[in-house]
Each structure stands twice: as C-alpha cells, then as structure tokens.
Amino acid sequence: MGVEEAKRIVMNHFASAARRFGFNELYGYIYGVLFLAREPMSLSEIAEATGYSLSHISSALKFMERVGLVVRIKKPGDKKAYFRATKMLKDWREVAYYNRIVEDIQQTRTNLERALKELEGEEGEEAEFIRESIEFAIKRNEIAERIIRLILEHRDEEILERLVNCLEKSGR
C-alpha cells in the first residue's frame, strides 16, 4: 500500500498545484504519473493510470507538450507516441506561476502608463501626488519584471542562489 499511496499523494499534489494556478487538474494528474514513471508512457497507459478518457488525455498532452511540461518520444519500429515529464519541477512552476506573474506585470505597466497619460496637462497638488505615486509604481513594476525575467532566463541554480544571498544580505 505504501508505494501506491505515495503515487496517489504525488498525483494529487500536482493536480492541486494545477488548480491553484488556474489550470485543469488533469494536467497535474498527467504530470504526476509521468514524473513517477520509470519509462516514457503511451497515451493509453496514461489514460489507464489517471482514469481519464483518451480524448481528454490527448488534448491535455498537446498543451503540456507545447508549454514544455512533457516531451513526446518516438520509439524505433513503434507507431505509438510516448511521453515523459520534463522532470524539472521548476518548469511546472514557470508555466503555471512565473508566466502568469509576467502577464500581470505587463498588464500593470499598461494600466499605469494609461493612467499617467491621462494626467498629461493636469496641474495641482492632487494631480502631482497621483503622478508621483504612479511613477513610483512603474519603477517598482520594472524591478519586479527584471527579477522574474532573471528567474526565467537563468537555469543555473548557482546564479539564483547568489541573487538570493545578495538580497538577504542587503535586507539585514
């Protein structure tokens, strides 16, 4: 029972993570099954392991392959497609989390710039206060975007560790 229960816990974890990040829980179940698989799995094997239909699995795998969470593998002499997880938990987070943050940062920048444009030609204490507040928010937003892009662009854990250490030292 221990092995099966451990598998169930991992699959449920990824399904919950998928839901938290606004994705269908099926993506999490599939990722969990593939993450724990010793060998690449076929569409029908994944369907059997998750309990979902072949059509649902097929659609989900197309999306997951497109965003880099799974890789399609062809075996010589076999017409079936096989899949394996990227085995990189950070890939899951990038797709599900960091890319959504980047979208939010970009939307924030767009809205702040629109608001700033509306203040063009406006005079007075309130207009100046709002302008300064928006400009401050734009600068903070730019810094946030740079940090997130750094995380997304650098696969080297050592660089990210140095960044964390630097930030922790400056925060003391």
| pTM (global) more than 0.75 | no
Q: Give the integer Cα–Cα distance in Å for 136 and 141.
A: 9
Strand partners, 73: 82
Does residue 78 share a domain with residue 105? Answer: no
Q: Residue 163 belongs to what domain range?
A: 90-170
Q: Give the integer Cα–Cα distance in Å for 89 and 69.
A: 9
Overall average pLDDT of the 16-24 stretch? 82
Residue 91 has pLDDT above 90, yes or no: no
Does residue 81 share a domain with residue 96? Answer: no
pLDDT tens for residues 95-140? 667 777 888 899 999 999 999 899 999 999 999 999 999 999 999 9
The answer to whether 26 and 63 have CB atoms below 8 angstroms apart is: no
Does residue 102 share a domain with residue 45? Answer: no
Q: Give the integer Cα–Cα distance in Å for 89 and 95.
A: 10
φ/ψ bin of 22: left (φ > 0), alpha (ψ from -120 to 50), beta (otherwise): left
pLDDT tens for residues 39-69? 999 999 999 999 999 999 999 999 888 877 8
If one compares 170 and 36, the residue with the highest pLDDT of the two is 36
Does residue 52 share a domain with residue 21? Answer: yes
